[in-house]
């Protein structure tokens, strides 16, 4: 599929009214029209927080909003029937659906158990703070509200490596269960970052692996997603998802797309993970996100010419999912690193209009975040249209200046009139001579975003001197002969209901 465009179709503070899956279904046509052909939906199964759960506090993966558990039947997003109906409608519109898979941790256990455990240092999970001690932990999952439907399997301390709460002493800590070890290869933060929260899955336990494999097959049969977003992959044995995905793809009979969340700004950690997992998935380009943040908060002192250095999209473009922000980076969240509003159009132009990577648009940027009075990024409608109409063919980079940088797209045989020049700056206004192709000689180009009023005439060598305002982005395309039907006009007309 050419020019795949993903949208993370949720943000953290969606209303807890159970209406979201219905909204997904109702918006399927609008998403298709906007140029989105892949959506990442939030975790659909019942969390420990019931209707208040965003989905990452995993309780029962078999409960998709069907059983009276954790205070009600529906999840925050709605019922199982509404969820599967939304998936089907999105797919009917030609939109691939990625489901959020959260397997590393479980929460909200139904009963406690007495276990022997060793407490480890928080900053060095390989260094014990105590000898073996008896603690009481929330690790028994019996799912009484489901009564064994779909699976009679119940979870106990044998399935987990450790936890962070001793119920008997009412005390927090990092407790590794006796006879267990943290997974041998995980992210090196805290020396070993296997443990994240809740009770940590022991993927060295064959029964645990069988349980999540059996569930995965049931989920594929029940929901029939087109792919998966894998949560917190750095906190689980690096070989786990490699083998689990092999099993899931073999069962499904297709090599479906998967993207993992490995939250690290160090490119080498991402490349190592891809190597160990035999390139079985893509990863979100976290290093690029932090480059955007640095550029947006350096008062014009960031070297824009180095923007893509040490990013996944440059090192492994075929396995990079580029993004600007997500539910974890939005205001108020643990990984909050929200890109300032002025830089958002620049960042989105740099992921949506280039040839490498699969760009992911954040729901909170497309619709706004009412909880924090964050407005939508208005330019997104136009940029998505331009990705469909003009992000084709060859690419010529002009990342040769500390502030004013850009690139051109030259079109291809299917899109001969799709030449485009993109220029951005994190500082003062400027201009750059860039080539869009000799086939454009004599053509007049205008800024499709409407940021700059100039018109640029292409010379006989296929080049033009393209300007950009200070702290802004301009996207230059051929002026329509009749002056109508430009991407900005179409987006303004068609995207009015997104504001």
Catalytic residues: 231, 261
Smallest CA-to-CA distance from 64 within 91, 109, 99, 108 is with 99
Helix axes 238-252, 267-276, angle to 10 degrees: 50
What is each CA distance from 437 to 82, 355, 392, 419, 460, in whole angstroms? 49, 17, 13, 7, 9
Q: What is the DSSP string of 162-173?
A: EEEEETTTTEEE
Residues 6+ positions from 313 with CB-CB distance below 8 Å = 285, 288, 320, 322, 351, 356, 357
Distance CA 74, CA 354 (A): 40
What is each CA distance from 33 to 29, 332, 338, 362, in whole angstroms? 6, 32, 27, 17
Paired sense of beta strands 444-447 and 473-478, if any = antiparallel
374 DSSP β-pair partners: 369
Q: Label residue 429 exposed, middle or buried (CB < 10 Å: 0-12, 13-18, 19+).
A: middle
φ/ψ of 255, rounded to 5, equals -90, 70
249 DSSP β-pair partners: none
């Amino acid at each position: 599929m050419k020019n795949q465009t993903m949208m993370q179709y949720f943000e953290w503070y969606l209303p807890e009214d159970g209406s979201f899956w219905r909204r997904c279904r109702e918006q399927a046509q609008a998403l298709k029209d906007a140029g989105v052909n892949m959506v990442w939906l939030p975790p659909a199964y019942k969390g420990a927080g019931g209707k208040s759960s965003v989905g990452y506090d995993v309780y029962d993966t078999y409960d998709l909003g069907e059983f009276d558990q954790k205070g009600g039947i529906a999840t925050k997003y709605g019922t199982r029937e509404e969820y599967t109906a939304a998936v089907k409608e999105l797919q009917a519109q030609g939109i691939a659906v990625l489901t959020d898979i959260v397997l590393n941790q479980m929460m909200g256990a139904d009963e406690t158990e007495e276990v022997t455990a060793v407490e480890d240092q928080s900053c060095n999970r390989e260094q014990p703070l105590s000898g073996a001690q008896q603690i009481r932990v929330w690790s028994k999952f019996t799912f009484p509200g489901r009564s064994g439907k779909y699976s009679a399997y119940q979870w106990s301390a044998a399935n987990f490596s450790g936890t962070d709460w001793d119920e008997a002493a009412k005390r927090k800590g990092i407790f590794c269960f006796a006879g267990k070890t943290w997974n041998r290869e995980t992210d090196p933060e805290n020396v070993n970052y296997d443990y994240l929260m809740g009770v940590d899955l022991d993927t060295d336990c064959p029964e645990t692996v069988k349980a999540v494999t059996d569930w995965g097959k049931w989920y594929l049969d029940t929901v029939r997603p087109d792919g998966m977003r894998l949560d917190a992959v750095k906190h689980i044995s690096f070989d786990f998802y490699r083998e689990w995905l092999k099993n899931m793809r073999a069962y499904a009979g297709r090599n479906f797309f998967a993207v993992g969340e490995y939250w690290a700004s160090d490119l080498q950690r991402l490349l190592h993970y891809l190597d160990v997992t035999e390139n079985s998935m893509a990863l979100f380009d976290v290093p690029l996100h932090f480059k955007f943040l640095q550029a947006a908060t350096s008062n014009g002192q960031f070297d824009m010419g180095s923007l893509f250095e040490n990013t996944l999209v440059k090192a492994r473009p075929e396995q990079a999912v580029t993004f600007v922000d997500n539910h974890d980076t939005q205001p108020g969240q643990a990984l909050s690193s929200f890109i300032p509003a002025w830089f958002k159009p620049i960042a989105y132009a740099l992921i949506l209009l280039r040839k490498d990577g699969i760009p992911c648009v954040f729901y909170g940027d497309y619709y706004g975040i009412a909880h924090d009075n964050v407005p939508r990024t208005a330019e997104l409608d136009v940029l998505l249209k331009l990705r469909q109409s003009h992000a084709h063919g060859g690419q010529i980079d002009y990342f040769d200046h500390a502030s004013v940088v850009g690139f051109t797209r030259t079109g291809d045989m299917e899109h001969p009139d799709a030449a485009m020049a993109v220029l951005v700056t994190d500082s003062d206004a400027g201009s750059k001579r860039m080539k869009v192709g000799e086939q454009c000689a004599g053509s007049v180009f205008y800024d499709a975003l409407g940021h700059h009023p100039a018109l640029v005439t292409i010379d006989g060598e296929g080049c033009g001197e393209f300007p950009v305002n200070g702290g802004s982005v301009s996207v230059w395309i051929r002026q329509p002969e009749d002056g109508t039907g430009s991407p900005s006009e179409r987006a303004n007309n068609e995207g009015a209901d997104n504001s």
